[in-house]
Structures are given as structure tokens and as C-alpha cells.
Structure 1
Amino acid sequence: MSVTNSDPNAERPLTPGMPVYLDFNATTPVDPRVAEEVMTYMASEFGNAGSRTHSYGQRAKERVKQARGEVAAVVAAQVDEVIFTSGATESDNLAILGLAAHGEASGKRHVISTQIEHKAVLEPLEILQARGFEVELLPPTEGGWVSPEAVADALRPDTLLVSVMAVNNETGVIQPIPEIGRVMSGHDAYFHVDAAQAFGKLIEPLRNPRIDLLAVSGHKIGGPKGVGALICRRRGYKRIPLTPLMFGGGQERGLRPGTLPVPLIAGMGTASTLALRESEHRSQAAMEIKEELLTVLAPLGAEVNGDPNRTVASTLNVSIPGVDSEAAIVALKDIVALSNGSACTSQAYEPSHVLTAAGLAQVRVERALRLSWGPGTAGLPYREIARRLRALQER
């Protein structure tokens, strides 16, 4: 595909009357350039990448190969280190549970992670624990990040895996991945990073060769839902000893069987190329929005949750004194679409385990709002947001 040079931050058409979308951390709008690529491989280039006897299958196979390269380029991996999955949740499960058999065989049953991980990591860790593994969850600092020294202190000779997310999905706080990689130098534990919120946004930190397993999702970078990848970096010539979670067909080096969703993979490849090429421009545009939001919310006494010096440009988690988050969402729902936490628990709201782990007072946790944005975000009614929140304060 030839990617055009159209403005990546041009306002995209929305359904008339719809609020401005501020929930990019849950999912992003599909970039029109990505949608065009997906439709091409749905409507005309519809071959099965596993079909070897005709040109339809060959073209599909070539597009999958190209997409591997596009994903790999973002994190400086090798093409054959990219395993396509249905998304970061499956990738996290494959990385964590896929190491269980090796841990059992080698006698390494100690796993280190953090209290602020996504459920896609915490729940597989619970499965490991039920299988007899010792799982140690490190608490974050008050600023919402985990100290590399805490990881160093927790490492043991029988540590199998260290799993730390790159960017927190609720606060946007960037975790010190390169520093954690350094303290793991000389230790043979595998390093897994859930990069769902970081892929295509943080470039150099995810290129750290000490990261063994990297989980990413297409729909967090303007790609389609239902596709992601697990990057499995080799150590020299040795592949990571993962055991598949599903069986049948042998696709993706035997780690993820099933017919490859070529249209979704093509879309993720294009989205990856765009994210890498436009990374700096997107970050600058996102920071302008954050600065404006902070300016209009400051007179309300807004409390930023998470160290503001360590957050990505496209996320703001904030508590407004005197304003319950649910009331705020209702009051703003016709002008902006936002959330009060992770989409993974949105069906039954629970107080944020991330903010609670950081030691924030319960009332502040209950007031927390998560705003996240990205390419295409425009027309934000900043002053009207502030006015409605002020009215809630004054009730």
C-alpha cells in the first residue's frame, strides 16, 4: 500500500450531534487510510494466506509478510519475531501462560509484576498462582510508577518472568522500562511488557533489546479491532520457550493456530507505519490539547492523578474536588465522551485498582476522570466542560 501524506490530525467526520470522543485509551477511531486498506483485503484481495496453489493466496501471504515488517519496524524487532494475535489481551496471555510449562520444568516458579497492571496481565497471573507459582505484585510510587530498585530487590535466582506495562491505561504514566531492563541485566528472567498504550507513541523505550516479549493491539493506534501482536525477541539464536494456548493448524510458528485475518493484519500494518512516521507530530498535537485542558481545569482545583512529568501527552487522569466521576460523565455526555477508568471493567464499575494502589484517598479515586485523545481530535469545548463541572461543584 502507498500511504498518503494527508494531515494526520485533520478533523474526521462524526455523526451529527455526537460528542467529541475522548476515550482513545479504550479504542481509537479507525484511520481512514487504514480503513481503505482493510476494505481492499476484504473486498478484492480476499485470499487465504495459507493457500499456496494460486495467486490469491500468494498475494495475501505477501501482505502478511509486509505487515510483520511494518509492526517490527516500530520496535526494531526482526520480521520473524512478530506473532499475530487477536489483540494485546491474547498476547499477554500467550506471553505469561505460555511460559508456565518452561517454569515448571526448570523449577523457576517466581514471577514479578505490579499492582497497576491491566486485567489482561493480572488475571493470567492469578492462573499461574493457582498452578503453584509465586506471584509478587510490586506497589507503585505515589506518582503511579514502579521503581526499578523495587524490581531489582525482588529478583531471585528462581525468577521466571518480570511483567511491567509500558504506559498505564488509566493514568497514562510511563513506566521506567529501560531502567528496569538495566537492573535485569545479567539475570536470565524473561521480561514481558504490555505495550498496548505505548506502541506507536513511545518509540525508543520499546526498542530496548532486553524486552523479550512485547504485547500490542491494533485498535489503540487507529487500526481495526480484533488484531494485535506478540513480539518474541530471540536471545541470540534461541527462541523464547513458549507453549501455545490453542492447537490446530500450526500457523504463526505453531504459537497461534487459525486462519490469519489478512484484512485486519493489513490494517494493523498500515496503522503501524502511520504511527511510526507521524509519532512526533501526533505527540505535539496531543500535548497542545493536554495543556489547554489543564489550563481550563486548574481554576476548579483539579488534582492530576499520576506524576505529570511521567505521563504520555495523550492522557489525563484528573479528580475535580466536589464532583463525583459518574455525575461528571452524565453532565458532559452530550459534549464529550470520556470514562472514569479502564474499559475492561466498564460493565460493572469498581473503584480504580490503579489509583487505589498508588495510595490515593478513596474520595479522590471516586472523583477520577480519564480523558484520552489522539489524531483527529478537534473542536473540544474546553470552556463548556469547565462551566459544567463548576456547576456540579456549586450544587
Structure 2
Amino acid sequence: MTVASTSDTFASSSTGGRPTYLDFNATSPVDPRVADEVMRFMVQEFGNAGSRTHGYGQVAKERVNRARQEVAALVAAKPDEVVFTSGATESDNLAILGLAAHGEATGRRHIVSTQIEHKAVLEPLEVLAKQGFEITLLSPDQGGRISAEAVAAALRSDTLLVSVMAVNNETGVIQPIEEIADALVGHETFFHVDAAQAYGKLIQPLQHPRIDLLAVSGHKIGAPKGIGALIVRRRGYKRPPLTPLMYGGGQERGLRPGTLPVPLIAGLGTASALALDEADQRTASAAAIKEQLIEALRPLGAVLNGDPDRTVATTLNVSIPGVDSEAAIVALKDVVAVSNGSACTSQSYEPSHVLTAAGLPRELVEGALRFSWGPDTTDVPTELIAERLLRLLRR
């Protein structure tokens, strides 16, 4: 398959169009092939997957079942282990808060996580802390990576859950998920992975059978906003003992009630299938863009935030000493659309908790820019980006 270009939608400023979009970690444009599938199930095949008395419902149900297979295939899970949600934030909440009742019933009230998690993990953990759970948050090294040995050392007999993201949303640093999973073999604790930035980009690490709970987001891989999944893997014959956060129906094995959004689910299924089919091609294309950006910014004294040998090909977090990130974003606004951190906290900008936890100097933290792109990104104006940033240095 050939990935369609988004050049018509996000044209380079040099052509007089909109700025080149380089904020895929916040959200990605919907792949045209995915959009076609979504529209078909909005306009033509609009049945309710729960309607069993006619063909409209049957077509919808069959598409949902196929989407389960497509999502499951990307992470080597079983289709019946896929629970559709509104996105990774809901999935994270269901995984973490959904285990609370089991923790209280068994006396296992200790949780291990990290200081660099997304707010979708950190805030539910704060809720559990107020309920008497003990939370251990591990710090990363200066390269932004958590040590698998530190995770193993933090385990206790009463540890209910280990929650570690697969790829950091700000730095793109890949966390040692497979090593952590190996360390948990033989231990009762549940392993939750926020894979919002990894799903569809990293294949093998997310397929480790010791990952019990895996949060997925559709709008990071060319599917629409408002759809995601929680992979609830069985260990042996037992599912993680989750308690639902909402009630009102038996959908999604009782874990997530409500009428299934069939068009969005179809979109996530198609996006997942494309990500698996085109994985090698996408990685090679993304890596080429990353190298071009690094080469263009190197003469400016650019400092890469995050171990460059352990980051995904689709993300570059960089600081230019002497350049404030807010000023840089303004200077680049007609050239590229970029960010200086998580979109979930950008409305009231505060220095990155991720870079701060890694021990970076304040100047680098305040100057950090995050560039992120996808499989349909072309013609990144690297020279113009460098030229605009150089102007700021000369002021």
C-alpha cells in the first residue's frame, strides 16, 4: 500500500499555503483511506452493532469484530482482549482506577510508576494516593529513560501495579518495556503500559505477553479523535480483575457501557491494519526526516533532549541555547506547526515535568521544542526552520 500525502492539507509556507504540520504527537491528520472507511459507516452502513434483528446491525457488528482483529494483530493479542474506549486517557483511567477495588480487597495497595508519565496516568495515581494507596514514582536518567532494574528493585509483595509508558510523548524516548516485562515474570503485579505514542510505531515491544493492560489511542496514528482501546490480556485463563468506571449496559464485556461508535471503531481498525502493513516503510521515511532536522539545527548549537539512540523515528525534542521556546514557536508559526510539550497541558504553559525530572538545566527546559511527524509528512522546510531560529539567536 502507498500512504497518501497530506501536502494538500498541510502545505509548506514556501508555497503560500498553511505551515507544515509537525505536531503529530498532539494529533495526526486522518489518513484518507481511514476517512473513507469512517464515512462509509457513518452514511451507508450506519447500523447499531447491538441490533441483532436485521442486516444493518449485523454488518456493523461484523465490522466491529474485524476491527478487534486488526487492533489485536498489531500487539499480538486476542480479539476478545480488545476493549474499545474513547482514547488512551480513558483506557489509562480504566486500567489504573479499575484495579483499585481488587487492590483494596487483597491488601495490595502499592503502585510503581514514573515521574515522566502522561497526566492521564499521573492524575489517576493521585486519586488513588488520596484513597490510601502508596505510589512510588521512579525518576529517569538524564537521557529520559527509566531503568528496568529500578522498576524491579521497587517491587514489593504488596505491589498491585506497575505502570510505565512505552514512548514518552514529549521526548520520544523509548522505555525498556520488554526488559520490565521480563523482570515481572513470576510476580503477581499487573503491568500497565500507556502506548499512546508507541502503538503503530513500535511493533515487537508491545507484543510482549507479560503486558497485562495496554492503552491505545487512535488519533496518533491517522484514525479519528475519540476512539482508542484498552488491551486486557489474559494471564493463563484469568483476565485482570477490572471494575468498570461507568455502568449502564453490557457492552465491551461489561467494562465500558454505551452504544459502540462503529464508524470510529472501523477507522481505528483500518489505521491499525495500515500501520502493521507499512511499518518498515514508515519507520525509514520518518528516520530520514529526523536526520534532516538534526543536521539543519546542529550549526545552531542544538541540544537533543532525550537519548538520541533510544528515541522513536517520529519525534525530536531539541533546545537551542539562548532561544526561548515560546519565542521560537511565534517565529516559526508561518513555517511549521510545532509545540513545546504535551498538548494536554499547553493551555497554561509550565516547564516540562518530563525534562525537569530528567535533571535538565532550566534554560534547556524552557527552550525545548518538540517536532513530531508521521508517515505522510513530506518536504519539511528544514533550512527555513534553521534560518528563523538563527534570527532569534542574533537578536
TM over 0.5: yes
Matched, 1:17 2:17: yes
> Which residue of structure 2 lines up, in the alignment, with residue 237 of structure 1?
237
In the TM superposition, residue 10 of structure 1 has moved relative to its aligned partner by 3.2
Looking at structure 2, the residues matched to 223 and 154 of structure 1 have their Cα atoms a distance apart, in angstroms, of 37
Partner of 1:121: 121
For structure 1, the residue ranges without an aligned partner over 5 or more in a row are none
- Matched with 1:8 is 3
CA contact (8 A) 1:38 1:266 kept: yes
Q: 1:11: Cα distance to partner? A: 4.5
Q: Distance in 1 between matches of 2:195 and 2:110?
A: 22
- Aligned residue for 1:219, secondary structure, equals coil
Partner of 1:224: 224
Q: Which whole-Å deviations, capped at 9, do the CAs of 1:12-32 have from their partners, x for residues lacking one? A: 411662100000000000000
**8 Å contact from structure 1 (residues 9, 282) kept in 2:** no
Is the Cα–Cα contact under 8 Å of residues 115 and 139 in structure 1 kept in the other structure? Answer: yes
Instruction: Give 1:310-325 correspondences, 5 Å limit.
Output: 310-325=310-325
2:346 aligned residue: 346
Post-superposition, which runs of at least 4 consecutive aligned residues in structure 1 deviate over 3 A? Answer: 9-12
Q: Which amino acid aligns with 2:277?
A: R
1:54-203 alignment to 2 at 5 Å?
Answer: 54-203=54-203
- Percent identity for Structure 1 against Structure 2: 73
How many Å apart are 1:250 and its aligned residue?
Answer: 1.2
Deviation per residue, 1:236-256 (Å, 9 max, x gap): 111110000000011000000
1:176-325 alignment, distance < 5 Å = 176-325=176-325
Cα gap change, 1:54/1:9 in structure 2, threshold over 3 Å: closer, same or farther?
Answer: closer
The alpha carbon displacement at 1:392 in A equals 0.2
Alignment partner, residue 371 of structure 1: 371
**Counterparts of 2:139 and 2:326, CA distance in 1:** 27
Q: Secondary structure at the match of 2:317?
A: strand
Q: Structure 2, unaligned stretches of length 5 or more?
A: 11-15
What is the CA deviation profile of residues 337-371 of structure 1, one whole-angstrom value per residue up to 9, with x for unaligned ones?
00000001011111000000000011110000000
Question: C-alpha separation between the residues in 2 aligned to 1:23 and 1:330?
Answer: 15
Q: Is the 8 A contact 2:213 2:231 kept in 1?
A: yes
Q: Which amino acid aligns with 1:322?
A: G
Letter matched to residue 217 of structure 1: S
Distance (whole Å) between structure 1 residues aligned to residue 57 and residue 282 of structure 2: 36
TM normalised by structure 1 equals 0.98
Alignment partner of 1:316: what SS? strand
SS at structure 1 position matched to 2:141: coil
Contact 2:71 2:272 in 1 (8 A): yes
**3-state DSSP class of the match of 1:191?**
strand
- How far apart are the structure 2 equivalents of 1:246 and 1:136? 28
Q: In structure 1, what is the Cα distance between the partners aligned to 2:379 and 2:153?
A: 48
Native 8 Å contact 1:9 1:377 kept in 2:
no
In the aligned structure 1, how far is the partner of 2:385 from the partner of 2:201?
Answer: 27
Superimposed CA distance per residue, residues 237-285 of structure 1 (whole angstroms, 9 cap, x where no aligned partner): 1111000000001100000000000000000000000001111100000
Q: Give me the whole-angstrom Cα distance separating, in 2, the residues matched to 1:348 and 1:145.
A: 26
Q: Deviations over 1:87-132 (max 9, x none)?
A: 0000000000000000000000000000000000000000110110
CA deviation after TM superposition for structure 1 residue 184, in Å: 1.1
Conservation of the 8 A alpha-carbon contact between 2:4 and 2:32: no
- How many positions carry a matched residue from both structures? 390
Q: Distance in 2 between matches of 1:292 and 1:379?
A: 11
User: So what's the TM-score if we normalise by structure 2?
Assistant: 0.98
- SS of residue in 1 equivalent to 2:391: helix
RMSD (CA atoms): 0.8
The 3-state SS of whatever aligns with 1:344 is coil
